[in-house]
Chains A and B, each alone.
Chain A
Amino acid sequence: MTETCEGGPRTTRRGLLLGLAATVAVGRTRLAFARTVGDARLVVVLLRGALDGVFAVQPYGDAAHAGLRGPLALPEPGGAGEEAQNPRLLDMGGFFGLHPALARLHAMYAANEALVLHAVAGNWRTRSHFDAQDMLESGASERLSSGWLNRALAAVPNPEAARAGLAIGTGVPLLLRGPTPVGAYAPTGMERPAPDLLYRVAALQAGDPLLGPAFAEGLRARGFAAETLGQRTGPVDREQITFPGLASTAGRLLAAADGPRVAAMELGGWDTHAGQIPRLTPLLRILDDGLAALKAGLGPHWGKTAVLVVTEFGRTVRPNGNFGTDHGTGGAAFVIGGAVAGGRVVADWPGLGAGGLLDNRDLAPTLDLRGVAKGLLRDHLKLPVDAVAAAFPGSNEAPAVAGMVRIRG
């Protein structure tokens, strides 16, 4: 059964907004969706600027680590005494230690809900942020006009009241751009025009190839977001524009029964060429807070969720002259969530000692990031083989990583 939204007693503000697209399906569709398509949620967090993976997840068991890293090597876990100035690494099983600012992530790790992938990199070997981010998001060896997550969405049916894909923040990253329409959410503090004026604006923009679809999509996203969050207009909570606030919102939007299934967000500031310890420690804490907020926002749906946290490349193993690190290659990625078979560090560790480093400067990558993403598309979103291949064209040399998510009934 369908109904149009031109006037009539059942027209609500949201109905009117959604009605711009034409008609709105209601009734049994919602139930049918929930039962036939998996309930799995996937969130991708882009860390722009290149996180130093060897700093976040420190291989203190590698004999060369302390010598190469100097002040960037934190005290090993488990020793006597806790120094406030220089806290110890959090134990991950005897070889790797997690940075102490990631305490909540460590609790997830201890609860087998967090997986660390180390010595990982994409298939690119550029040390340019901008090229590497393009390839990370395109899922290919060159910049494409669409992102791998958008192409994957082609195989995910849209829920009744929302797009399956959702960008959190003011922009839509390349990762989520492409032929499949996606929603977007960002808080706003300005006065909003009344629905009928928005309708006339939409009509003016309809013929514009760029603005027409964007505006229609914006209306749809807003109608949806307003209902789920119970906030229609009014001042913005300043906290929301920070990452943890957005992550909490993302969790709540993803928790809606007929809400989005896949979301992308980003956190910048990782390009630590100087003074790495004072710059990275608060940023790691923000990331840690955000991941915890995402989990809290998802509530019971956390059990069906996997969160992939990635960055464009790692950083040089040796600190540079300013207690920072320069652009490198291999680094760390995280997969967390209630659906994740965690509590492990997955790494074919190349070693930091003699001959182990790439170009005698970078952590040598032994795992292809594309395989990690492909494993989640295949095993978590349960996408068919051809859909995974469409997301990552020409990636046969990077097979999907198996065993990252729990087997579900």
Chain B
Amino acid sequence: MVNATWHVAAIRFGLGPRLGEAPPADPRAWLGVQLGEEAPLPPGPSAGDGLRARAEDILDRNRSQGQLTGPTRAGQIARSTAQAWASRRLAAAAPFRERLVDFWMNHLTASRRSGQLSFLVGAYEREAIRPHVTGRFADMLVAAVLHPAMLIYLNADSSVGPNSAFGQRGGRGLNENLAREVLELHTLSPSGGYTQGDVTEFARLLTGWSVAQRAEPFGTIFRRHAHEPGAKRVLGRPFEEGPEAAEAALRFLAAQPATHRHLAVKLARHFVADDPPPAAIRAIEAALRDSDGDLGAAARALLALEAAWEPPLGKLRTPGDYVLALCRATALPEDRPEVALNGMAALGQPLWTAPQPIGWPDHGEAWAAPEAIMRRVDWAHTLAGRLQALLEPRAVAAAVLGPLARAETVTAVDRAGSPRDALTLVFSSPEFMRR
């Protein structure tokens, strides 16, 4: 007997049931195990591999004097890491962990939309985010902010201390972008009460941290000649001159109560409701505070929230969620990642391309524009046309919706004139659109 707990676990905390997947005996325990188990890093190119490939592409292009055609090395890395992302999620055995990876990737967005880092985002996930999703937020923050992808994305790689040796030679100076977004988006949030002065001081403190893009070591470096001399003061706390200040300041910001609060609100919004109940926020906030910012503890606090388990499911799936859920519901083979990636692009959420550093929105209204919902139905119908010969619509509905299916949806599926129409109806139903 399939019960609703399995479907809530698979849909809300996971990536949706996969057709043919046998439900675990204890769905709650199944989620808890995913937080604790050994999670070796998947193979993949490092940030250094990406930067080296890019440098070689530039050499090739210069040598060929613009005659070069065909895919570049960096472009191949961008494509292969995106495909690995999708393949991994089509077949994921620990989908809760994958959802957490995607959640923190969005919190600490480094978007491909800014050109120079398509070939770095896969490495960013692997090196900065994935190792810490059940570890300490401070460790994740340090790894993310000082990763080449983030340093390039938010211009820190070219920010120069005005009084540094490099700055004094003229021509270059401070760039506030990374400092501001760390304070506003990654840690305190505007309610944390920092000032323009804190932004500027933090930007000075971060100067020197840069990326060797054209030569060894092809990665994050500290350029002392670009570092602003002297002590800095952020939120009233002094930090000494030098490379150690960046990590010290990030750890200081990660531990602030306003940061815990901000993270708790975002986690509760993602896993409970667009407007999460205050009690849910408080519970996660307390877990972060009492565990020195342990994200595994925060995830376990989420699982313990009764509000997170109550059907009907109230969150609207984002386009990315919707596409992955549909691909898993149709048992799309993991060697067809391009179907998922193309679907995400067609529905308005191409992988790793949030338009702004704040990341993709996580409330239903942002994704419920009339044309956007119509497109989901178009895409489902298009895919259903290709897959209908392989699938039995009633079995698909039972597997992916189970007891969450409403009677009218079951009736509509039963009465549909073709398997394709029946599948379109399953995937267009509100219960499939939500999580």
Chain A positions within 8 Å of B, measured between CB atoms, are 48-49, 126-131, 167, 170-172, 177, 183-186, 188-193, 197-198, 200-201, 203-205, 207-208, 210-212, 214-222, 268, 271, 273-274, 320-322, 324, 326-327, 359
Contact = CB atoms under 8 A, between A and B. Distances in A.
A330 to B, nearest CB: 16
Contacts of A167: 369, 371
A394 B129 CA distance: 44
Given A191-B378, A205-B428, A218 B346 contact: no
8 contacts: A167-B369, A190-B375, A201-B424, A203-B408, A210-B364, A211-B430, A273-B176, A321-B160
A332 to B, nearest CB: 21
A191 B385 contact: yes
B142 to A, nearest CB: 22
B248 interface: no
A128 B180 CA distance: 9
Contacts of A127: 180, 196
Contacts of A129: 356, 358
A218 B374 CA distance: 6
B160 A170 contact: no
Given A190-B378, A200-B412, A327-B180, A171 B348 contact: yes
B430 A193 contact: no
Contacts of A327: 176, 180
B196 A359 contact: yes
Contacts of B174: 320-321
Contacts of B428: 201, 204-205
B375 A170 contact: yes
B158 A321 contact: yes
B346 A190 contact: yes
B369 A321 contact: no
Interface of B: 154-155, 158-160, 162, 167, 172-177, 180, 184, 190, 196, 316, 346, 348, 355-356, 358, 364-375, 377-379, 381-382, 385, 408-409, 412, 416, 421, 424-425, 428-430, 433
A203 B416 CA distance: 13
A212 B316 CA distance: 13
A210 B158 contact: no
Contacts, number: 155
A143 to B, nearest CB: 12
B346 A321 contact: no
Given A49-B356, A218-B370, A321-B175, A192 B378 contact: yes
B175 A326 contact: yes
Contacts of A220: 370
Contact of B370 (A217, A320, A321): A217
Given A49-B356, A131-B190, A214 B368 contact: yes
Given A198-B377, A214-B372, 11 more contacts: A48-B356, A170-B348, A171-B372, A197-B381, A197-B425, A201-B428, A211-B373, A273-B177, A274-B175, A320-B176, A322-B173
Contacts of A192: 378, 381
Given A172-B369, A197-B421, A321-B159, A204 B408 contact: yes
A221 B371 contact: yes
Contact of B425 (A201, A321, A322): A201
A190 B379 contact: yes
Contacts of A171: 348, 366-367, 369, 372
A229 B46 CA distance: 48
Nearest to A129: B356
A219 B175 CA distance: 47
A310 to B, nearest CB: 17
Contacts of B162: 321
Given A204-B428, A273-B155, A321 B375 contact: no
Given A49-B356, A214-B370, A327-B180, A204 B429 contact: yes
A214 B429 CA distance: 13
Contact of B371 (A126, A170, A203, A321): A170
Contacts of A211: 316, 368, 373, 430, 433
A79 B370 CA distance: 52
B189 to A, nearest CB: 10
Nearest to A182: B370
A270 B374 CA distance: 30
Nearest to B428: A201
Q: Which of A216, A322, A359 lies at the interface centre, i.e. has the most chain B CB atoms within 10 A of its CB?
A: A322
Contacts of B159: 321-322
Contacts of A49: 356
Given A167-B369, A171-B372, A326-B176, A201 B377 contact: yes
A193 B373 contact: no
A193 B379 CA distance: 10
Given A129-B356, A191-B378, A210-B368, A320 B412 contact: no
Contacts of B385: 191
Q: Which 5 residue pairs are nearest across A and B when measured between Cβ atoms?
A: A321-B173, A218-B370, A218-B374, A190-B378, A208-B430
A128 B173 CA distance: 21
A282 B381 CA distance: 38
B356 A185 contact: no
A322 B371 contact: no
A60 to B, nearest CB: 23
Given A128-B190, A201-B424, A218-B371, A193 B381 contact: yes
A322 B158 contact: yes
Contacts of B412: 200, 203-204
A80 B290 CA distance: 71
A197 B378 CA distance: 11
B409 A274 contact: no
B400 to A, nearest CB: 15
Contacts of B429: 204-205
Contacts of A170: 348, 369, 371-372, 375
Q: Which of B355, B365, B368, B412 lies at the interface centre, i.e. has the most chain A CB atoms within 10 A of its CB?
A: B368
A204 B385 CA distance: 20
Nearest to B379: A190
A192 B382 CA distance: 8
A201 B430 CA distance: 9
A408 B54 CA distance: 59
Nearest to B346: A190
A268 B353 CA distance: 13
Nearest to A219: B374
Contacts of A222: 371, 374
A326 B408 CA distance: 54
A409 B370 CA distance: 37
A127 B183 CA distance: 13
Contacts of B346: 189-190
Contacts of B365: 177, 210
Contacts of A201: 377, 424-425, 428
